[in-house]
Structure 1
Amino acid sequence: MVVSIDLVAQEEQVIDSLERALVRSRMDTGRVLLLNELGWEYKFDDPDKARAYLDTSLLLARRLNFLKGIGDAYNYRGVVEDIHGNSEQAIHFFQQSRDIRNSLQDTAGVANLLNNIGNLHENLGDFAAALDNYLKSLRLREEIGDSARVVKLYYNISILYENMGEYEEALNYILDYRDAVEQNGDKNGTANAFNVIGNIKMELDLFEEAKSYYEEALQLHQELGNRWEQSTILNNLGNNRDAKAIEFAERSDTLKAIRLNQEALDFYQKALEIRREFDDQAGLAETYNNIGLSYLNQVRIYQRFGQDEKVQEANDQALDFFEQALEITE
């Protein structure tokens, strides 16, 4: 609490200093920079004031033909709209800033804006537009040798391709990401890469390969002491064993199906323990729902072989866990 109070006091001092400097400033580029900084400082707590400062900055910067000031004002305006949930307006302002920075041959600035625009399009579900902007940003960052951001884009593009159902492309980019983070000795990044590869293998119905990657991810997160991340991998391993159980049930191999189903439930229980530690309500709801689905799989397995008593037991368990998930989400 003391830290947050000190931080607020520091922010107020910054704003006070900027506003006093603004009163003394001339109608020149320095005033544009001050107006932009004030807009930036107010972006969270007072978006209307932030917009007012930035719009005033734009008017003066245009009068002075101060292109950098115009580009910065548009960029900050986009950030304000993004923070406050106005994605379409944010895209508009980022595009305006991109065009200005392009005219200034600010390659790094253009790459950053293309990435921001891509993020917004992805959030809006316009994956084609998101991909177009990400790929343009990637090319520019490769040109200027911005290796750290190139690696991050490999990850973002992989996730986007996965969401688009383009699993081979997703796999190519996440493998590039994995190679880069492994070379940098980034174990967190490597673990995240293994998890994504596991997810992609699941989509391709390559369940044993997926399991292997999940296990590698889990081992790394355990070494790093990442408890919350472990719960995600354990949940994914539960999904994996359930999918494999269904596969064996369809082959009429009841014993293997039941064994795999129990393995899934064991993984889910381990995920639950960790998610309770963190009071992760969304995670708990997800895992309760997955356990319910797992018991429904048991229902189907037992129905196939006429084991009515076990069908009823599994069905009751499924309903119980679905209700627990529903209690959290309502």
Structure 2
Amino acid sequence: MDEATVRRHAEHVLREAGVADDRFKEGGEQMLAALARFEGLWPHLQAAWQRMHRTEDEEARRWISDFGYAFIHLLTLRTTPAQRIPYQQAAVAAARALSDSQAEGAHLGNLGNAYRNLGRLEEAIHFYQQALAISREISDRRNEGNWLGNLGNAYAALGWVEKAIGYHEQALAISREIGDRRGEGSDLGNLGIAYKNLGRVEEAIGYHEQALAISREIGDRRGEGSDLGNLGIAYAALGRVEEAIGYHEQALAISREIGDRRGEGNHLVNLGRLYAEIGEPKKGLPLLKASLAIKRETGDRPGEGEALNYLGFAHHRLGNLEE
């Protein structure tokens, strides 16, 4: 194909991926069709990225920058964190060359997400802080709230829970101010996780129930699965194991339905751990093994360590001390 045809094709597949991402976010029955459409587009997107990345004119830079966020939800589902880093690094460079501050901030924040998912929390915080500064500089309230929430998640993972709550409360205030229901649900869920980690489990459940109601209201199946899983963790902390298992099973079904492998791995490890803890390690073992395989497949290094830890616990409960 000549260069003009190649570029038209690149623009077409990028635009179609953006449409698929929008339909995926809308939830409902469109989600599976959007996933299937994206699976067909993905090889073409990868080939186009290789071609455009080798070119340094303004049109190619714009394409590379748009690639970094035009279909970020589906890109996150389809790739590992390590695979996303080169795409986001290239997108940051392209946005800077174009003097596009809004896009630069979005790509920096997405780099932060990738590093956080790899467990490299200090690096994630560095990128989130840069993204937050840009969002405030250009008065982008939606992304300001987004990066505040992600900073909260990173600090929570470091064990700085009260600092995390401060960030999540700021994020929640912004989401409500601008009417961002998806963001509001995410912020409520993050607050629930933080309060559970402080041992204030009943308060955590209240936040998770609010988040679940919003996810169902807007048809956010991925968010719904996350909220159900968080409720399962909270009920397990209260010793209400049967309810916890019910929530995790619902969450697992949703993750499998929408092809969310990272979520599937999380729900499997939570179920497997619960079975091991209540004296049914034979039920837990295959779930934990399946979780470990998914953690490795998706490049989730912190999650891999968690799955290995609980696998060891399950083998111990079975008396398999050599395992």
**TM beyond 0.5:** yes
Specify the alignment match of 2:139 in structure 1: 145
How far the C-alpha of 1:175 sits from its partner, in A, is 0.6
Q: Which string of whole-angstrom CA distances, capped at 9 and with x for unpartnered residues, describes residues 175-233 of structure 1?
A: 11222233445555444333221211222333444344345445666777876455324
1:142 shift after superposition: 1.7
Classify the secondary structure of the residue corresponding to 1:108: helix
Q: Percent identity?
A: 16
> What's the TM-score, normalizing by structure 2?
0.60
Determine the structure 1 residue equivalent to 2:268: 285
RMSD of the TM alignment (CA)? 4.1
SS at match of 1:44: helix
Matched residue, 1:22: 4
Which of 227, 232, 235 is matched with 2:232 structurally? Answer: 235
Q: TM-score, normalised by structure 1?
A: 0.59
Matched, 1:100 2:97: yes
Gaps of 5+ in 1: 1-18, 24-30, 62-67, 242-260, 296-314
1:198 and 1:214 in contact (8 A); partners too = yes
The count of residues paired between Structure 1 and Structure 2 equals: 251
Kept in 2: contact 1:87–1:120 (CA 8 A): yes
Partner residue, 2:162 = 168
Q: Within 5 Å, give how 1:2-81 maps onto structure 2.
A: 22=4, 37=11, 40=14, 44-46=42-44, 49-51=47-49, 53-55=51-53, 57-58=55-56, 61=57, 68-69=58-59, 71-72=61-62, 75=65
Q: Is contact 2:226-2:251 (8 Å) kept?
A: no
Higher relative contact order (CA 8 A, sep 6+): 2
* Secondary structure of the structure 2 residue equivalent to 1:89: helix
Corresponding residue SS for 1:45:
helix
Q: Which structure has the larger Rg over C-alpha atoms?
A: 1
CA distance in 1, matches of 2:139, 2:195: 31
**Cα deviation 1:91-140 (Å, max 9, x = unaligned):** 54234324413xx4x32232233223323333443322222222122122
Number of the residue aligned with 1:7? none
Structure 2 spans left out of the alignment, 5+ residues: 18-40, 257-263, 294-323
Task: Please tell me the residue identity of whatever aligns with 1:325.
Answer: L
**SS where residue 165 of structure 1 aligns?**
coil
Deviation for aligned residue 1:174 = 0.7
1:57-114 deviation per Cα after TM superposition (whole angstroms, max 9, x unaligned):
32xx3xxxxxx3463265368789997664453354234324413xx4x322322332
CA drift at 1:144: 1.7
Q: Name the residue aligned to 2:316.
A: none
* Stretch moving more, 133-142 or 222-231: 222-231
Contact 1:239 1:290 in 2 (8 A): no
Change beyond 3 A, Cα 1:54–1:171:
same
